[in-house]
Structure 1
Amino acid sequence: MKISVVGGGSTYTPELIDGFGAFKDVTEVVLIDPDAERLSIVGPFAKRMLPSVRWTTDLDEGLDGAGIVIIQLRVGGQTARISDETFPLECGCVGQETTGAGGLAKALRTVPVVLDVAAKAPPGAWIVNFTNPVGIVTRALLDAGHRAVGLCNVAVGFQRHFASLLGVEPSAVVLDHIGLNHLTWERAAYVDGVDRLPSLLAAAASRVQLPLSLLRRLGSAPSYYLRYFYAHDEVVAVQRSEPTRGEKVAKIEAELLEMYKNPGLAEKPTLLSQRGGAFYSEAAVGLISSLLRDDGGIHAVNVRNDGHFPFLPDDAVIEVTCRVGKRGPTPLPTAPVGPPYAGLIGAVHGYEELALDAALRGGRDRVYLALLAHPLVGQHHLAEQLADKLIAANAAYLARAR
């Protein structure tokens, strides 16, 4: 079987390659990227890690015959990310690449490109989407009729962290993971049917940098991304005083690319752990294994709602714990999702609907309405200012939004 990685020139790619060695039935891994220079560095390094790797700038040829297509592209690179993390701060809003105004900018740049890529994938291939904002991009893929599933590393990070604290194997921890991509909570952490989360809340609070009192009142462990909602003003103050995450990552990427050039390097360097995406390869390999081998593995993924959350439309895309086989993911039964979660989930889902409409059809008014609906913006004057700043900062990508 052939696996194609779109965005294969990413410095993340060695994380994937590190895990693909476990697939004995994978005959070829093809890295696809329009950036020939990056491919000329990442490709040979990846091949030293896994001999079945090759690379190409030709999308059609790279996708031909693939059974699994992984999409991990970043339109505009780190320069666009830095912009996404900067322009919202000018209006006193969180600067972040996957949520708020910055997340909308990324969605508008990304959705059309991902759909163009997916249209060239072989019929019936599974499209595994890592491209942020994962929920919106996965919804676009599913609406276009693709066999797509979205994957994030938040849940697997919690699972590994909790397992280490409990002294058990990660597979022994089953999370009640609910929400939307980058808007999730762990409501339980089951080991042998017993919920161990109450004893883990203090560690979770430290991990996500939120007060333990908040987690106890919620009775859950929110993802790190909930800091942008629960501690908005504090986060903005910190962001205004520090370099953006994109600036830090750009420096790490430059160092990684220099390392990858070393012909004697055949294992991923420790610096890669600072790039972000912890447990990236484990999440990907586990999910792909379940899709191919029909093993019924349990994974937190982005899927159609289909009645799982009664307060959302069936065609919404949610992020929950699922059992995965060759026919795809099926959400595990879970307790009803109450007001502490449902209200915010519903509000952000409304924004995501408007964001996808803006990405597909363009127009400043659609950009404005998406911003107005987002809980991290929500005010008319801010939506007006941010719409203009977003469009100006992304003029090279958003001709339809002017």
Structure 2
Amino acid sequence: MKLAVVGGGSTYTPELIDGFARLRDTLPIEELVLVDPAADRLELVGGLARRIFAKQGHPGRIVTTSDLDAGVADADAVLLQLRVGGQAARNKDETWPLECGCIGQETTGAGGLAKAMRTVPVVLDIAERVRRTNPDAWIIDFTNPVGIVTRALLQAGHKAVGLCNVAIGFQRKFARLLDVTPAEVHLDHVGLNHLTWELGVRLGGPDGENVLPKLLAEHGDAIADDLRMPRAITDRLGVVPSYYLRYFYAHDAVVRELGTKPSRAAEVAAMEKELLAMYGDPALDEKPALLAKRGGAFYSEAAVDLASSLLGSGGSPVQVVNTYNRGTLPFLPDDAVIEVQARVDGTGATPLAVPGLDPLYAGLIANVTAYEDLALEAALRGGRDRVFKALLAHPLIGQFEYAEALTDKLIAHNREHLAWA
């Protein structure tokens, strides 16, 4: 089995490597290719990756290359983890929207649209090159904004599934609080990527006992603290929203907070510098503790589970993924991309049925889906008017004056990445 990781020079990669090493019986990789245009980073990450494999006794071969076509040739699956423009572009995404009093964030609002505009054309080009060399390869997208990027891939006819670590993070957290194994915890996880709610937490499977009320009653303070939201929100709703819902439920407070401290991108850039220095130490043969602060917790376990199910080597039969709606949420088009529990096998992902949703959640999902439709159109076809319409449709913006100003700022800050600008 051969896997390729495009964006393999990311500081995330040792998390992925650690999971591949530990879970080698589930996903028996013979060759792992790390592909990245940044040769200096790739050398550091690749060296640590080989040492992690060696320490854990993994027999697979790790190859590093800046040649995309060679790297993905004959791969059974290609995992995408790109950041077009790097942390410098992310820093802009997180700062210029604040000038208009709007959220500065890399996956939602104006910053999220900017990232989609930069990313979708690059990902589609990569996917076409994968298809030319190996049309049977699965593409696993971890690149944000996952929902929009996955929809672009699926609309172009690629064998693709989107992946996020939010659900597996909740699963592991709830398992610890309940003192059970993660495999015993099934989430009623519903929504769009980075716009989800845990409507139930069931023990033993989709039809198991819902222990979410018990979790909220006994551990509400800890859960709310992790979400950085008041406990009153979870108590009032009776569900657990994803961390990203704080940008919607507490927009103005978060804007004020973000205006008083360095951007997350600045923090991550400093952390990456330190991590890369660690990766260069020939004595280091495991992922450093600092990596946990970088983000992406449990990403490797989720990636192994998904890849092994798609490739027929094992994996959980039901996983949270991003895939076509196909009538699962009846108020959305079939080709909307949703993030829900799905049955995953060699044919792809089939969403499980979802009970009727409270309008409180369905309304916001429908609104953001409409924005994502317009965002994808802008990313695929360009043009100031398409950017403006997407911004105006976003529920975190929604005002003509803001959309006009943010359109100009988005184009100005991303001109080098926009072929039409």
Q: Which residue of 2 aligns with 1:391?
A: 411
Instruction: Give me the whole-angstrom Cα distance separating, in 2, the residues matched to 1:297 and 1:242.
Output: 43
Q: Which residue of 1 aligns with 2:58?
A: none
The 5 Å alignment of 1:170-185 reads 170-185=182-197
Q: Which aligned runs of 4 or more in structure 1 are off by greater than 4 angstroms?
A: none
Instruction: Give me the whole-angstrom Cα distance separating, in 2, the residues matched to 1:214 and 1:268.
Output: 36
Percentage identity across paired residues of the two chains = 62
Q: Which among 72, 92, 96 is matched to residue 63 of structure 1?
A: 72
TM superposition shift of 1:273? 0.3
Q: Which among 7, 30, 47 is matched to residue 50 of structure 2?
A: 47
Instruction: Give me the whole-angstrom Cα distance separating, in 2, the residues matched to 1:60 and 1:290.
Output: 25
Q: Which among 340, 350, 353 is matched to residue 330 of structure 1?
A: 350
- Which deviations, in whole Å up to 9, do the C-alpha atoms of 1:111-149 show, x marking residues without a partner? 000000011112011100000000000000000101100
Instruction: Give me the whole-angstrom Cα distance separating, in 1, the residues matched to 2:145 and 2:279.
Output: 28
Q: Which residue of 1 aligns with 2:232?
A: 213
Q: Is the 8 A contact 1:176 1:189 kept in 2?
A: yes
Q: Which residue of 2 aligns with 1:127?
A: 139
TM superposition shift of 1:219? 2.1
The 5 Å alignment of 1:157-168 reads 157-168=169-180
TM-score (norm. length: structure 2): 0.94
Q: Is the 8 A contact 2:305 2:315 kept in 1?
A: no
1:65 maps to a residue whose letter is: D
Q: Does 1:255 align with 2:267?
A: no
- Which deviations, in whole Å up to 9, do the C-alpha atoms of 1:307-329 show, x marking residues without a partner? 00000000000000112112122
Instruction: Give me the whole-angstrom Cα distance separating, in 1, the residues matched to 2:308 and 2:342.
Output: 14
Q: Which residue of 2 aligns with 1:147?
A: 159
Q: Does 1:242 align with 2:254?
A: no
TM superposition shift of 1:48? 1.1
Q: Which residue of 1 aligns with 2:24?
A: 23
Gaps of 5+ in 2: 55-60
- Which deviations, in whole Å up to 9, do the C-alpha atoms of 1:370-391 show, x marking residues without a partner? 0000000000000000000010
Instruction: Give me the whole-angstrom Cα distance separating, in 2, the residues matched to 1:294 and 1:319.
Output: 22
Secondary structure of 2:154 counterpart: helix
Q: Does 1:33 align with 2:48?
A: no
TM superposition shift of 1:50? 1.9
Q: Which residue of 2 aligns with 1:77?
A: 86
Q: Is the 8 A contact 1:49 1:266 kept in 2?
A: yes
Q: Is the 8 A contact 1:294 1:326 kept in 2?
A: no
2:101 maps to a residue whose letter is: G
**Could you tell which deviates more after superposition, 77-86 or 13-22?**
13-22
Q: Is the 8 A contact 2:199 2:239 kept in 1?
A: yes
Secondary structure of 1:395 counterpart: helix
Secondary structure of 2:392 counterpart: helix
Q: Which residue of 1 aligns with 2:3?
A: 3
TM superposition shift of 1:206? 2.1
TM superposition shift of 1:358? 0.3
- Which deviations, in whole Å up to 9, do the C-alpha atoms of 1:353-374 show, x marking residues without a partner? 0000000000000000000000
Q: Which residue of 2 aligns with 1:200?
A: 215
- Which deviations, in whole Å up to 9, do the C-alpha atoms of 1:57-80 show, x marking residues without a partner? 000000000001000010000000
Secondary structure of 2:129 counterpart: coil
- Which deviations, in whole Å up to 9, do the C-alpha atoms of 1:187-218 show, x marking residues without a partner? 00001311111122213222212222222332
Instruction: Give me the whole-angstrom Cα distance separating, in 2, the residues matched to 1:83 and 1:200.
Output: 38
Q: Does 1:98 align with 2:111?
A: no
Instruction: Give me the whole-angstrom Cα distance separating, in 2, the residues matched to 1:270 and 1:346.
Output: 39
Instruction: Give me the whole-angstrom Cα distance separating, in 1, the residues matched to 2:316 and 2:419.
Output: 44
TM superposition shift of 1:297? 2.4
Instruction: Give me the whole-angstrom Cα distance separating, in 1, the residues matched to 2:67 and 2:388.
Output: 36
Q: Which among 351, 367, 374 is matched to residue 354 of structure 1?
A: 374
TM superposition shift of 1:287? 1.3
Tell me how large the CA RMSD over aligned residues is: 1.0
Aligned residues between the structures:
401
TM superposition shift of 1:95? 0.4
Secondary structure of 1:348 counterpart: helix
Instruction: Give me the whole-angstrom Cα distance separating, in 1, the residues matched to 2:324 and 2:229.
Output: 30
TM superposition shift of 1:153? 0.6
**Could you tell which deviates more after superposition, 191-200 or 158-167?**
191-200
2:160 maps to a residue whose letter is: A
Q: Does 1:375 align with 2:395?
A: yes
Secondary structure of 1:210 counterpart: coil
Instruction: Give me the whole-angstrom Cα distance separating, in 2, the residues matched to 1:12 and 1:213.
Output: 34
Q: Which residue of 1 aligns with 2:97?
A: 88
Would the alpha carbon gap of residues 295 and 54 (structure 1) be closer, same or farther in structure 2, given more than 3 Å must change?
Answer: closer
